[in-house]
Structure 1
Amino acid sequence: MCVVRIDVDEEPNGTGFFVAQGVALTCRHVIENETDLSIIWQGDRHTVTQVQIPNKDVDLALLSVNSPNHDWVFLDDDVTDFEQLKTFGFPKNYPQGDPLTLEFEGFTGGSLSLIKLKDGQVEPGYSGAPLVNARTKKVCGVVKSTRDEDYALGGRAVPVSLVWRLFPELKPTILEIPKNPFLPRSGRIDLPDQFFGREKELRSVFEILNSGSSVAIIGERQVGKSSFLKAIAHHSKSQLNQYRRPVYLDCQSLIDNADFYEELCLLMDIENTKASNLKRALRRSKQSFLLLLDDVEMLAEENFSFQIRSQLRALSLGHDAPFKLVVAASVNLDELFPDARGRVSPLQNICINEFLAGWEEKYVKHFVDKRLAATPIRFSERDIIEILLQTQGHPQKVMEACYQLYNRYKEDCLP
């Protein structure tokens, strides 16, 4: 909400609205010759520190206010006959605020022409309220006066063109809007500087690894497991007590057992070998590995045998084992691999679960603020809440929702 109540001596006297950070626009007659001025915004009182009245023949004033961060309106002089215009102000009978709908009838004559309004009851207290064009969703005027306090005959408003004439700094310039920062829209995030959040989960994973255990990352699809594995790989050099070379293997691209071992050996830079010789090949390489297995569900397919999981377990037991595992799955490993003939799934007891949920509101807000920092566009608190409700905090869905919203704001900024 960008609309504020203008108080004189802490009593309601009219309406104003934010047009920039800490700057509110209202009518001159609302505040002229008054000294004890303040605004009420979101229930809190803020002191007016400066008043600008460049021309006393025009019923406009610009107020500087000590206020926390807030949204402000977009100004646009685009308005045509019979368009519906909406406003929100603080009439005397409704000091907490009341909406009003009017219709554009035309412009009055003269060099200081006004907008003529009809079909709405403009009462005292609406003076200074923003007049929003229902089509453009932007402010086209400032409510000035009523045509009749007791009947719905409309009123008059100062057009935005006159606002710009008095306060040219409020006229939007053609901005060079940067390209959309909410990328990539799909798939995992490979670049470390694009990965955001998950600090708590990263600390937990490395605590488990440094204790000698392996980890299972459990979370719904699109919650960011693949990107999280890449982040673990990136941070492993600085966070592991005993260095292990990170190797990321996407199981979704594999066909069968032979393909698994061939791809694994290729990524580890060791000789291509069969399962029976893998342990000896690892010993000859004199390396230890942090093996990050993505989409490990694929290993439950019929083309992959119990042997793979059994060997991964054997090669991961003990502090000095060749492997420590970090596997990503959508369900618990005991549900994923209910191996036959009464045997316990080999991965069930060596991987400690780390559950990956959607982002909380504070992380969504921090993510948005960081991505928007180098742009002139800002999302409102309402935008953040709507994104959170729409996406349930799933990072990939948050990214897509932010991408679409940024494009809408970018279109609004263009002339």
Structure 2
Amino acid sequence: MNPFTERKRITQPERFVGRWRELSVIFDRLDTGRPVLVGGVAGIGKSSLLTHIAQSAAVNLERPDLLALYADMAPAEDEAALFHLITRSLGSRGDSEAALEVALLERAEPVLLCLDNADRAIAAGWGAATLEKLARLARRSLRYLPAGMPLPLPGQPSSPVPTTAAMEPTFLLVAACHGRPPVLSEPFATVTLGAISSPEVRLLTDAYLDYTGVSFSPADLRELEEVSLGHPAYLQRAAYQLYIARSSDPTYDWKAAYFADAQNRPIPGAPLPPVVFEGGRAADPYGSFYGMDDVTRRLHLDRMDIAAPDDLPLFLLPLVVFLVAWQVSGNLLIGGVTLLITIGVVMLARRLVGARSRQPEQPIASDSSGQQQEEQHAE
């Protein structure tokens, strides 16, 4: 079986790799009791990241008694249905915010709630208010640990190591949504997932190729990153086709198969990598669009042309004149006026030079008819 067969989300901990920076930020915010919203385009790995957070939170937060819950908000009809699901998972009953708060208070262990597809609930009209209610519960769950109070350890009534005063959250919240995280009244920390890096591409493919007897060369990995632009879902599709070529059919045109598949079955909500439409040309060397906001994307598309090196002394001239005038006069105002005058002179000179260079040159040609007339007159 091809190990790169498409899956909804990565549920096996050994196959989740990378996202170190994002995980560091998320766990740091959760440790202080602040809820987190994770955003990104479709297929970028939000659900897999949430699953990994639920699986590894107890270790990363150093709270072995932590109970982690993963819930999908998309199937829930309304807020009451979601609250009922959560309270039942906590061993209690009820479908309201008050019932959930009671269920949390009845537990001595901290609880982490990971909510997926929050954008579906927000689009349905009840998701934003529900997230704000859960964020308020998380804020109210902060528990004060005075200095010298020992932290409880599993299997021991108390720890002999004294501690400093701290605020410890007992209810932690992280949610994922499609696109840019929405602005809510409660203070959420936001993390937007972008393309994965080259080392993450290598680690991801190695994790899937483990025990298959097949390996991808460094050139293969560069091509995979090129045709997918680091988008995990498109990377998985490209690796699926490459695996066929490397495992059973060396003549198999895996790139053509991937391009056809990406065009026929694009991921809803995720833009196709430009290379798919360019017949396999090299990807944009300036980076990936995935994870960019609108301003960054516009700057990416409208990159300014850098002045040629020949013009560099001309651009530095006003600065040099300003510094000299400032040092000689000892007056910053005089230096500023000199700077403005020099800039005006430089701009005027560039305009005059540019206008002269744009004037068409008059070709020097002999007038054959005039020469003939002069020759006839001489005769």
TM-score range, shorter chain: 0.5 to 0.7
Query: What is the one-letter code of the residue matched to 1:297?
Result: D
Task: Pick one of 401, 408, 413 that aligns with 2:238.
Answer: 401
Report what 2:228 is aligned to: 391
Report what 2:15 is aligned to: 194
TM-score of the two chains, using structure 2 as the length reference: 0.54
Q: 1:110-141, CA deviations, whole angstroms, 9 ceiling, x for partnerless residues? A: xxxxxxxxxxxxxxxxxxxxxxxxxxxxxxxx
Report what 1:346 is aligned to: 185
Report what 1:324 is aligned to: 172
Residue 275 (structure 1) aligned with residue 97 (structure 2): yes
| In structure 2, C-alpha distance between the alignment counterparts of 1:284 and 1:210, rounded to whole Å | 21
Q: 1:24-59, CA deviations, whole angstroms, 9 ceiling, x for partnerless residues? A: xxxxxxxxxxxxxxxxxxxxxxxxxxxxxxxxxxxx
Q: Secondary structure at the match of 1:334?
A: coil
Query: What is the one-letter code of the residue matched to 1:326?
Result: V
Shift in Å, 1:334 = 3.4
Shift in Å, 1:197 = 1.7
* Higher RCO, 1 vs 2 (CA within 8 Å, ≥6 residues apart): 2
Residue 359 (structure 1) aligned with residue 196 (structure 2): yes
Report what 1:299 is aligned to: 121
Report what 1:173 is aligned to: none
Pairs within 5 Å for 1:106-145: none
Q: 1:294-323, CA deviations, whole angstroms, 9 ceiling, x for partnerless residues? A: 111122134526642332122010533552
| In structure 1, C-alpha distance between the alignment counterparts of 2:119 and 2:206, rounded to whole Å | 35
Report what 2:43 is aligned to: 222
Counting matched residue pairs gives 224
Shift in Å, 1:413 = 6.4
Shift in Å, 1:188 = 0.6
Shift in Å, 1:324 = 1.3
Report what 1:262 is aligned to: 84
Structure 1 or 2: more helix by fraction: 2
Q: 1:322 to 1:298 in 2, by over 3 A?
A: farther
Alignment identity in percent? 26
Structure 1 gap ranges (5+): 1-178, 336-344
Report what 2:259 is aligned to: none
Q: Which of 236-245 and 250-259 deviates more?
A: 236-245
Q: 1:203 to 1:287 in 2, by over 3 A?
A: same
| In structure 2, C-alpha distance between the alignment counterparts of 1:204 and 1:302, rounded to whole Å | 29
Pairs within 5 Å for 1:16-415: 179-183=1-5, 185-242=6-63, 243-304=65-126, 307-318=129-140, 319-320=142-143, 322-335=170-183, 345-347=184-186, 349=187, 351-412=188-249
Structure 1 residue runs of 4+, over 6 Å off? none
Q: 1:43-97, CA deviations, whole angstroms, 9 ceiling, x for partnerless residues? A: xxxxxxxxxxxxxxxxxxxxxxxxxxxxxxxxxxxxxxxxxxxxxxxxxxxxxxx
State the Cα RMSD in Å: 2.4
| In structure 2, C-alpha distance between the alignment counterparts of 1:261 and 1:227, rounded to whole Å | 23
Q: Secondary structure at the match of 2:248?
A: helix
Q: Which of 276-285 and 249-258 deviates more?
A: 276-285
Q: Secondary structure at the match of 2:239?
A: helix
